[in-house]
Amino acid sequence: MENKNILKTEQPIKGSWEKIQTEMKAKFGKDIYDSWLRKISFEEEFNNYVLLSVTTRFIRDWITSRYLDQILSIVRSYKSEITRIELSVNEEKNYNEIEKKDYKKHDSSTGNVSFIKDYVSNYNRIDPNKSFENFVTGTSNRLAFEASKKVSCKTSHYNPLYIYGGVGMGKTHLLNAIGLKLKEESKVMLISAEKFMYQFVKSIKSNEMVKFKDNFRNADVFLIDDIQFMNGKEAMQEEFFHTFNALLDRGSQIIISGDRPPNKLARIQERIKSRFSGGLVIDIQPPDYDLRYKIIKSKTDELKNYYSNQVNISEEIQLFLSKEIKNSIRELVGALNRIVSFSRIYNKIPNISETKIVLKDLLNYNENKVTVELIQSLVCKHFKISKNEMLSSRRSRYLVRPRQTAIYLTKLLTSKSLPEIGRNFSNRDHTTVIHSIKTIETLKKDDTDLCSSIDTLKNQILYNNQNNEI
């Protein structure tokens, strides 16, 4: 019996990881597990601790502050010798997993669609979710939309089609929609200029230039995104020039996107700019209020369908987003996704105040003024204590709660990591920071006075009322 126990104790955590994941799902619930904990990957096991990884710093900090202790308890039920868990950030691992899925998806494709299957750089990835049907049009993008549709229906006589505009205006969406429409009946190549360069350099190093030329020059439809990336890259421009001419000679349709018109492209060969200008050049302007509102309405309906009507975003919030997020459609959609995530995680409809906090980096409300020093000063003033008292080692109740509140607000309103926050509070350990955050989150559920104090402080910090003397 003793030997069996020893064997059980020494069983590697890796072998039990699937069971541990199942227990996490049961303990925390499907929504939390799918949103956060599913992203945890097992990396390595040492004598007394386990190394796990997630894909971003944000996810790591979120899990660390809310779930890590409970995850450790689950892990220890399988191996009691484990005393701690370390979470690292491994973006590359997640990227490779996505690429593998994408490989399987494309490998099953039928027809004569041409794909360069280099899944390290993700070539020719046509997104089925970016179609003409879900492209929302307005005065700023209607001409580009109509021209793209004509190209996809082979009724356009303009070759090449050159679409330009700022970041996040929908250029990539239109190129993808064209590729999606034509890929069943034509050899389609969709690639960014950056990835074109990568493939070019890779082919030179591996002595496979003939294969490179065949891959690109035999396409029926050639779509290249972010052409401004070729800026100053002479060898790449030379190859692209010949590829461009070869495609035109065989009657292939070429569609290009850039962040500026052809004549404004810096350090691009004049002969290339001349060929771009020889077709149809169309710009996409920043979206006006009406278009932004249409996009928000459309995306909200999509998310409601996706989550089976479990998403509740008020009309007030939709109008607010349409008014405040002006520069980029991508930012607008990203802001909506953040609000939806907030709504689903906390199971509530966010109000305007909560929306402003969630989107503080996009809205830029006194962004540069939100410092740890400002937070500490306003918290001290609110609770009527001195800054020296807050930062001291004293553990009197009248000092501990303001200190925990300041730590909580620092985590909420700044991008500082847990160790950085600890250093700003008299070099306190990151575990103390985590404890403070958890304590305030727990107390907020029942303490209405504390909730009111935190809301007041958030408004003072974010909007820095000029009447506040610090």
Q: How confident is the model at residue 308 (pLDDT cuts 50, 70, 90)?
A: low
Start-to-end C-alpha separation, the chain: 68
Tell me whether residue 112 is in a domain.
yes
Nearest one of 394, 390, 386 to 407, comparing CA atoms? 390
Nearest one of 74, 63, 81 to 19, comparing CA atoms? 74
Interatomic CA distance for residues 137 and 141, integer angstroms: 6
- Shared domain for 237 and 187, answered yes or no, is yes
* Other beta carbons within 10 Å of 164: 23
Given a cut of 70, is residue 273 above it in pLDDT? yes
Interatomic CA distance for residues 233 and 193, integer angstroms: 11
Given a cut of 90, is residue 109 above it in pLDDT? no
CATH of the domain at 334: 1.10.8.60
CATH of the domain at 27: 3.30.300.180
Given a cut of 70, is residue 5 above it in pLDDT? no
DSSP 205-232: HTT-HHHHHHHHHT-SEEEEE-GGGGTT
- Shared domain for 325 and 378, answered yes or no, is no
For residues 51-75, average pLDDT:
82
Tell me whether residue 132 is in a domain.
yes
Lowest-pLDDT range, 98-107, 328-337, 380-389?
Answer: 98-107
Given a cut of 90, is residue 145 above it in pLDDT? yes
Question: What is the torsion angle, in degrees rounded to the nearest 10, for the CA atoms of residue 16, residue 18, residue 21 and residue 23?
Answer: -70
Given a cut of 80, is residue 187 above it in pLDDT? yes
Last residue of a domain, one of 235, 251, 284: 284
Structure confidence by residue, pLDDT tens digits, 448-469 = 888 888 888 887 887 654 344 3
Q: Are strands 49-54 and 280-284 parallel, antiparallel or unpaired?
A: unpaired
Q: How many domains does the chain have?
A: 4
- Shared domain for 200 and 134, answered yes or no, is yes
- Shared domain for 373 and 268, answered yes or no, is no
Tell me whether residue 338 is in a domain.
yes
- Shared domain for 339 and 375, answered yes or no, is no
For residues 386-407, average pLDDT:
91
Tell me whether residue 470 is in a domain.
no
Q: Could you tell me the residue range of the domain that residue 296 belongs to?
A: 289-363
- Shared domain for 130 and 223, answered yes or no, is yes
Given a cut of 70, is residue 94 above it in pLDDT? no
Residue 196 CA to chain centroid, in angstroms? 24
Q: Are 223 and 188 in contact (CB under 8 A)?
A: yes
Structure-token match 């227990």, residue found: 23
For residues 426-447, average pLDDT:
89
Interatomic CA distance for residues 192 and 195, integer angstroms: 5
- Shared domain for 184 and 262, answered yes or no, is yes
- Shared domain for 143 and 275, answered yes or no, is yes
Residue-level pLDDT at 124: 59
The pTM score is: 0.54
Q: How far is CA 384 from CA 70, 95, 299, in A?
A: 36, 49, 46
For residues 428-439, average pLDDT:
90
Given a cut of 50, is residue 118 above it in pLDDT? no
Residue-level pLDDT at 276: 94
- Shared domain for 320 and 450, answered yes or no, is no
Residue-level pLDDT at 107: 44
Residue 260: CA count within 13 A, CB half-sphere: 11
Interatomic CA distance for residues 381 and 378, integer angstroms: 5
Interatomic CA distance for residues 42 and 79, integer angstroms: 15
- Shared domain for 135 and 195, answered yes or no, is yes
Tell me whether residue 427 is in a domain.
yes
Residue-level pLDDT at 2: 41
Q: How far is CA 399 from CA 47, 74, 346, 390, in A?
A: 39, 34, 29, 6
Last residue of a domain, one of 89, 109, 126: 89
CATH of the domain at 270: 3.40.50.300
Last residue of a domain, one of 363, 379, 396: 363
Given a cut of 80, is residue 57 above it in pLDDT? no
CATH of the domain at 457: 1.10.1750.10
Tell me whether residue 346 is in a domain.
yes
Given a cut of 50, is residue 101 above it in pLDDT? no
Given a cut of 70, is residue 340 above it in pLDDT? yes
Q: How confident is the model at residue 400 (pLDDT cuts 50, 70, 90)?
A: very high
Lowest-pLDDT range, 35-49, 116-130, 350-364?
Answer: 116-130
Given a cut of 90, is residue 351 above it in pLDDT? no
Average confidence score pLDDT of the chain = 82
Tell me whether residue 468 is in a domain.
no
**Helix (H, G, I), strand (E, B), or coil: what is residue 304?**
helix
Higher pLDDT: 160 or 452? It is: 160
Higher pLDDT: 83 or 92? It is: 83
Given a cut of 90, is residue 176 above it in pLDDT? yes
Of all helices (H) and strands (E), which one includes residue 87?
A: strand 84-89
Long-range contacts of 82-86 (CB under 8 A, 24+ apart): 82/13, 82/48, 82/49, 82/50, 83/48, 83/49, 84/48, 84/49, 84/50, 85/49, 85/50, 85/51, 85/52, 86/49, 86/50, 86/51, 86/52
Given a cut of 50, is residue 353 above it in pLDDT? yes
Residue-level pLDDT at 67: 84
What are the two backbone dihedrals, phi and then psi, of residue 169, each rounded to the nearest 5 degrees? -95, -10
Of all helices (H) and strands (E), which one includes residue 73?
A: helix 68-78
- Shared domain for 166 and 279, answered yes or no, is yes
Given a cut of 90, is residue 48 above it in pLDDT? no
Tell me whether residue 232 is in a domain.
yes
Interatomic CA distance for residues 124 and 131, integer angstroms: 15
Residue-level pLDDT at 99: 43
Interatomic CA distance for residues 110 and 114, integer angstroms: 10
Structure confidence by residue, pLDDT tens digits, 359-387 = 877 776 444 467 899 999 999 999 999 99
- Shared domain for 120 and 34, answered yes or no, is no
